[in-house]
Structure 1
């Protein structure tokens, strides 16, 4: 559901002013603060580089503004000297929030870390501006100064306190719409930027603390030679091929990719190549999976409401067939609620994936 930020400018400016009077919460438990995926609706406005969180009004419509953040989304400006440059834009559309990680490392980059990862889709996350190490005293100056303009590798960078709020309140299954259709709003863009210097902000963010992390779950490789990759894609570089039976630490749960740690190496492995219960096969090589990212609809008709996009290679359960359409169920991540809707039947294929019951 699209909500024009421009129409709500006056309300938002009041909100920003009031919110700045209250101190940032500096203590939180690792458990989610919200477990209802329908409580919030998130709009990522790529034109203005603004994230707005809505909750329902008395009529059940998402019109009440809860939070509003400045951000840096994926790079859209192309290199005129590189005809093959396609940028690294944040993917548009409606998605369901997936897994999360407290203080993550970018597997494809050296010395790049961020706090409070919340998955939008695949390898695209909300997260804080970057750090040079997995410690709060290594915040990078450059990313701080660029908030409010695009330029990331596809993820959405936020101030640390804003990334933390999403981490705890945007639970798996929450809907996020990534849009370029909002009207320009330079006044709000300016209002959402901090007036702190980098030095002041750096000292402040060091105090944004948590209780000790909960222990990460374990998983076991069920496919000999399963590639551990630098990203959520079959074309990403292989870090290491894992032997059948190898135990891995799960850092971010997801489908079709899981971020794991193995022998001090961090990367991504297909969900279909692991099991969360040792000795129990939870996947198969002829599972029903999505051929390429596709919209799922409320009814078997493209004129019906769009529920969300289902990413490439996601494992699904087939519920019903009707006139070239298939009713499916899928999960944005292991602990998210089940999403149900219709896709065109030719959107499915057989391949390694999770057994959906």
Structure 2
């Protein structure tokens, strides 16, 4: 529910023995900034039984029902008596994804009024998807930050996650300007980060790239491992029609405009069944990001969506 979260009582650390006493004792009180807090085993049930896009009805400003409040409070044991839920199931699978275009914001949540931008990513950068939904995905960036990105800004294939042999950081480490830990740190590689290694110039050191930074990495902390394969942004030339009727080759990122004499519907999917996101007048500037069949995935007036290719002309 946009900006209103349902989550368990908070913990002081990642250990199940560190459940916050004050948060537990304040269950039912209006102290959670609009969030709904529940007991850990209830949150666990929601996680496994309510998939993304499950609709929840939240009624605000309704007077409390004394009988219901009493019944709910009776179900809350003393702090020391609460048995932590156990879980032998494997962790949910993470999905590798690639950012579609520049200036993609990573948000603290998905409410425009309550949340802020904590990072801005470039086209081609990689993130891991921790939770997927139609509108937003929870992600972990290459720098280790957690946040939310609009789903349409990401390229991924959740049903075809592939692995290969590559390199992974076993703990937080760095890309150095030279083969010396005293040299300049060009980038931080978080635990689990996947740098690209190109050579082994000296014992104890790799040379390669991470997050756009070229330099040296310690072999002690960057080791060969099984890693995710991230989807590649399309760079295959496509063709758009120019104003004189001829065609020209273009690639992702090409500037174009809405053809003369029409109003084009930008849609949420590459089909006339897609929801109309915006009506774009003739001459409106458009940035082409990729081609899917007869539809361009593009950016215009701060929005992203799909335009039928006959509606678009090259500059």
What TM-score does the superposition give when structure 2 sets the normalisation length?
A: 0.48
Kindly name which structure, 1 or 2, has the bigger radius of gyration based on alpha carbons: 2
Larger RCO (alpha carbons 8 Å, 6+ apart): 1
What TM-score does the superposition give when structure 1 sets the normalisation length?
A: 0.43
